Amino acid sequence: MLRHTALFQWRDITTEPEKLAALKGLAYLSYGCPSVRAVDFGTDLFGGTTPLREVKPWKRTPLWDARTEGPPSNFDMALHLDFDDQAGLEDYNTDDVHHEVAVYNASVCSGELTARIDWLYDGPLRIERFGVRHTSLFLWLDEATDTQKNDVKEAFTSIDSIPGVRSIIAADNVGTLLTDYDLIIDVTLDDQEAAKGYLAHQAQEEALSLAAAATKYEWTARITHTMAAG
């Protein structure tokens, strides 16, 4: 299965009705775009960009100085779309419904900050309505070695025994856009409490430390959401 994942950040001026309209648009993609096999979408369970926006801009650490701090906040909205193959994704990219939804999203989200990745997985659909998903997207450092990259992937995939974790996949980008991210860590969990436990677990923090040393850590895109299948 080929999955397209996109994480979005709301604009400062985006209203609650506009956010709801954006979510409705994501839900409609599974009905309006014939090549879409499944849709998962949702908003961040832990505040999204709200903690960032509560800090005055002149008091925030500039992103270019945040190498060791990591991302300043979570993203706000996630979209995961499944396709049979690359041809299905290409059909979606030229679909009028997708275009309409994308234009609206551009009006309520900070498009220049949207994080995207295309990746492959085997097995059944990784969507269970009302389950919880934690998604992290990473960009490798130019000097990161293949050994470092493999160590990061293995560190995450080896901790699927943490209570409440259903599965963990580490997958490389197969897309061709220059703005694509390089690596996704896709975690499915029982519920929000399980997500809290996973994020606070020592093994997850150790895996994240390896990732921080091998990636442009400040640009990490992450979100935890309840799966709402469209």
The answer to which of 11-25, 51-65, 164-178 has the lowest mean pLDDT is 51-65
Interatomic CA distance for residues 172 and 153, integer angstroms: 10
Half-sphere exposure of 56 (CA within 13 A, CB side): 2
% of the chain with per-residue pLDDT over 70: 99
User: CA 93, CA 33: separation in Å to the nearest integer?
Assistant: 10
* Strand pairing category for 115-120 and 77-83: unpaired
Which residues have CB under 8 Å from 57's CB, separation 6+? none
User: Which of 15-24, 55-64, 212-221 is predicted with the least confidence, judged by mean pLDDT?
Assistant: 55-64
* CB 137, CB 220: distance < 8 Å: yes
The CATH architecture that domain 2-229 belongs to is: 2-Layer Sandwich (3.30)
Read off the pLDDT band of 192 (50, 70, 90).
very high
Q: What is the pLDDT of residues 75-113, one digit of tens each?
A: 999 999 999 999 999 999 999 999 999 999 999 999 999
Average of per-residue pLDDT across 66-76: 84
pLDDT over 80 at 230, yes or no = no
Cβ contacts of 217 within 8 Å, gap of 6 or more: 67, 68, 69, 70, 71, 138, 211
Token pair of 70 as six digits: 């990591």
